[in-house]
Amino acid sequence: MKISFLYLPALALLAACNSGEQAKTPAQTLAQTWPQVEAAGKGQPVSMLMWMGDPLINKYMSTYVKPELQRRYGIDLQLAASQGAQLVQTLAAEQQANQPSEADLVWINGETFYQLRQVNALLGPFVDKLPNARLLDLENPFINTDFQQPIAGMEAPWGNVQFNFIYDSARVAAPPKSFGELPAFVKAHPGQFTIPNEFTGMTLLKSWMIALSGDPKLFQGKFDEAVYKKWSGELWKTINQSKPYFWKQGKTFPEQLAPLHQLFANGEVAFTFSNNDAEVDNKINQKVFPATARAYVPLPGTIQNSHYLGVVRGAQHPEAALLVINFLLSPEAQLKKMDPDVWGDHTVLNLAALTPAQRQQFQQLPSRRYAPKRENIQGLALMEPDPEYMTRLFKDFRTQVLEK
């Protein structure tokens, strides 16, 4: 019965404040040779911040990647959920406080990459240091450019995906082949269409907006206010005209993707969407979607983008984080990840750089059955526009559609 109870938090604070060891500067970390990185990284814990909204992805990380890293390097990979502005905010606050970060490794792309670079929270350039970097398909503009920003070695590509529509072939015989046909279809089938108010939904809106403009080149380069105003205006007009025929008369929209998948599985809506072209296979395998679900890319095409891994500038275990990334880029880990039974995330490796045996494994994945063939949709791939388009669409979708 002493005041010690009250002082306890204060003591914990004091203890915590004195614990930081003398760490390497970012330049010193990056100056090390790979063997030095390996020596320093082995046996360390790595804290990784990632989107944790998909059970298969979480499973890939915790039942394959985590034990493999433990076995190979004695690395203890700790996964935590964080993404977007929340992630940027946390890292920025840590940096403002001038202290080492709680996170080592982050899974990012687009606007998060842009903002993290703005607040200088990323370590790098580091990609060249990785032995597996020579296998990467860095000539591919869909991989070496993240939302119109050159990755410049500050983040390593991890996977590449293309936005697609998923429908139930048992219920919808002839889905709309293009964005142009979509409004008529929605009107003819009221209550069967909705737009998720999150990342995937925003990719849908971007693809739709580019389709309306008829000229993808307009959206290349820096954000253009005039282009955005004109074509987002058209987009809201198109959507608001169809809105009465949306799910729940367009009075509300799902906030997350998983609930939309559920609506689709229960037959409440005719379409769900995915940023990942192979997701239809992985959801059928999990029995989340009916076996009659199919995926396709509507004309004139949809956005294809990549997602990346970055190292935090204030990371306490940057070397171990580099080892983790290098492992995630290995043909073995990439192949495993590409299997729709596991995750279905397309590889970022240049198949020509692999051995013939490895190449064959990548080309003949038996489990990719209902997803569109990559060769067939590559011609329908649109580049990601500047991240500003997405932040603006997200904001304006709320004011122009949701709240109307």
Query: In the window 138-167, what residues touch other proteins (CB under 8 A)?
Result: none
Cβ-count burial 341-375 (b if 16+ within 10 Å, e if not): ebbbbbbbbeeeebeeebeebbeebeebebbbebe
Stretches 28-36, 76-84, 125-133, 292-300: which one binds other proteins (CB under 8 A)? 76-84
Give backbone dihedrals phi and psi of 80, rounded to 5 degrees, phi first: -140, 150
Would you count residue 403 as binding other proteins (CB under 8 A)? yes
Residue carrying the six token digits 């992630």 = 87
Q: Does 268 bind other proteins (CB under 8 A)?
A: yes
Q: How many residues bind other proteins (CB under 8 A)?
A: 73
* Shortest separation between residue 209's beta carbon and other proteins, angstroms: 16
Q: Contacting other proteins (CB under 8 A), which of 24, 36, 45, 93?
A: 93
Closest to 307 (Cα-Cα) out of 343, 267, 357, 263: 343
Whole-Å CA distances, 162 to 238, 277, 382: 23, 5, 9
**How big is the CA angle at 205 (ends 215 and 147), to the nearest 5 degrees?**
70
Measure the CA–CA gap between 272 and 166, rounded to whole angstroms.
5
Contact positions with other proteins (CB under 8 A) in 174-193: 191
Which tokens is 100 given?
Answer: 């080492």
* By the rule CB under 8 A, 70 interacts with other proteins: no
- For residue 27, how far is the Cα from the chain centroid? 28
Among 141, 188, 259, 376, binds other proteins (CB under 8 A): 259
- The answer to whether 118 contacts other proteins (rule: CB under 8 A) is yes
Rule CB under 8 A: is residue 402 a binding residue for other proteins?
yes
φ, ψ for residue 216, nearest 5 deg? -60, -25
CB of 399 to other proteins, least distance (A): 9
Q: Is 22 among the residues that bind other proteins (CB under 8 A)?
A: no
Q: Does 200 bind other proteins (CB under 8 A)?
A: no
Q: Which is nearer to other proteins, 94 or 277 (CB)?
A: 94
With contacts defined by CB under 8 A, name the span among 144-152, 166-174, 257-265, 303-311 that binds other proteins.
257-265
Based on the shown chain and the rule CB under 8 A, indicate whether residue 1 belongs to the binding site for other proteins.
yes
84 lies in the site for other proteins, by CB under 8 A = yes
Task: For residue 39, state whether it binds other proteins (rule: CB under 8 A).
Answer: no
Contacts of other proteins in 312-371 (CB under 8 A): none
Cα angle 288, 170, 173 (rounded to 5 degrees) comes to 130
Binds other proteins by CB under 8 A, chosen from 197, 232, 242, 302: 197
Sketch the per residue contact string, 270 through 299, with other proteins: x for CB under 8 A, - otherwise: -----------------xx-----------
Contacts of 362 (CB under 8 A, 6+ apart): 331, 334, 335, 338, 347, 349, 351, 354
C-beta closer to other proteins: residue 262 or 367: 262
The residue whose two tokens read 């993404």 is 83
Q: Which tokens hold the place of 269?
A: 């809506």
* For other proteins, the closer CB: 110 or 372: 110
If binding is defined by CB under 8 A, does position 17 make contact with other proteins? yes
Among 89, 178, 376, 378, binds other proteins (CB under 8 A): 89
Nearest-approach distance from CB 81 to other proteins, in angstroms: 4
Q: Is 88 exposed, middle or buried (0-12, 13-18, 19+ CB in 10 A)?
A: buried
